[in-house]
């Protein structure tokens, strides 16, 4: 069954540390996305990718980097984590132009 | 950038009663619309996609789109307690693969 798998599911990090969130999809979708979800803000797009080797800035990219080394894998990197990056992060894949998104189960990140 | 407003923020209904959720958007450039459901602690799952004015039914879920009114709605027929979740609408333009999401409506279905 096609799926989007995120790891880790939960993460506690220290301020100033480096955090890498990973996402793997077996949908063979070209497009992949990283969102964060916060109360009062809904889902906000951080970075996205159209395919291996490409990354694009979303609506709130500051403080985040992304890497798409292959069709299947898309990582979100916080080089210097801050408490304001405490959130639930979702990865999704999709194929356009219809582009229904298929989401992972989320990663809960706490930066202390 | 497209702005999306969902209403109500929360809704409580009894099992079996119709549940109606609304989404308004700021301009008419979007041409594909979706409703997603998110159970507590889980990811989002798509319920129904609609691409032209009118209605689209997927099982107990029916979406209505009126682009002239900048409005898309979701109606849940015979809701069950297992439908208790947050419902989000999302939209994008055909050439833009970046969906914009509303903040969601929290639905509680009482037995």
- Model pLDDT, residue B95: 67
Residue A1's pLDDT is: 56
Q: Quick check: B99 and A99 CB within 8 A?
A: yes
- Summarised one tens digit per residue, pLDDT across range B71-96 is 999 999 999 999 999 999 998 876 66
CA distance A26 to B62: 29
Q: B46 and A102 in contact by Cβ < 8 A? A: yes
Contact A30, A68 (CB under 8 A): no
- Alpha-carbon distance A71 to B67, whole Å? 35
Q: In this predicted model, which residue has the larger pLDDT, B1 or A17?
A: A17
> Among residues A3, A21, A94, which one has the least CA distance to residue A51?
A94
C-alpha closest to that of B11 among B107, B110, B88: B107
pLDDT for residue A97: 61
pLDDT for res A100:
85
Q: Is A85 helix (H, G, I), strand (E, B) or coil?
A: helix
Question: How much is the pLDDT for B70?
Answer: 92
Q: What is the pLDDT of residue A99?
A: 76
Interface touch A100/B49, C-beta < 8 Å? yes
Reply yes or no on whether the pLDDT at B19 is more than 90.
yes
* pLDDT score of B30 more than 60: yes
Closest to B25 (Cα-Cα) out of B6, B4, B44, B11 = B4
Asked if A100 lies within 8 A of B94 by C-beta distance, the reply is no
- Tens digit of pLDDT for each residue in A23-53? 999 989 999 999 999 988 889 999 999 999 9
- pLDDT for B1 equals 72
pLDDT top residue among A92 and B27 = A92
Q: Using a CB-CB distance cutoff of 8 angstroms, which residues of chain B are in contact with residue A98?
A: 32, 49, 51
Report the alpha-carbon distance of residue B30 to residue B42 in Å, rounded.
Answer: 27
Contact B37, B102 (CB under 8 A): no
Closest-CA distance, B110 to chain A, in angstroms, reads 24
| Predicted pLDDT at B27 | 78
Regions of chain A short of the pLDDT cut 50:
none
Sign of CA dihedral B83, B89, B94, B95: negative
| Mean per-residue pLDDT of chain B | 92
CA–CA distance, A76 with B22 (Å, rounded to integer):
33
């Amino acid at each position: 069954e096609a799926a989007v798998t995120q790891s880790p599911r939960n993460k506690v990090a220290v301020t100033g540390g480096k955090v890498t969130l990973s996402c793997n999809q077996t949908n063979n979708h070209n497009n992949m996305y990283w969102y964060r979800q916060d109360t009062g803000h809904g889902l906000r797009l951080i970075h996205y990718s159209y395919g291996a080797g490409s990354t694009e800035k979303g609506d709130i990219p500051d403080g985040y980097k992304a890497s798409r080394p292959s069709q299947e894998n898309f990582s979100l990197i916080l080089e210097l984590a801050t408490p304001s990056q405490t959130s639930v992060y979702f990865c999704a894949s999709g194929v356009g132009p219809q582009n229904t998104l298929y989401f992972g189960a989320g990663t809960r990140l706490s930066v202390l | 950038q497209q702005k999306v407003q969902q209403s109500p923020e929360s809704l409580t209904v009894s099992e079996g009663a119709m549940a109606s959720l609304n989404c308004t958007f700021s301009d008419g450039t979007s041409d594909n619309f979706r409703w997603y459901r998110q159970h507590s602690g889980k990811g989002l799952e798509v319920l129904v996609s609609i691409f032209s004015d009118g209605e689209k039914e997927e099982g107990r879920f029916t979406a209505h789109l009126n682009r002239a009114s900048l409005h898309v709605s979701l109606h849940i027929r015979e809701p069950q307690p297992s439908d208790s979740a947050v419902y989000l609408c999302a939209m994008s333009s055909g050439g833009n693969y970046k969906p914009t999401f509303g903040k969601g409506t929290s639905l509680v279905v009482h037995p």
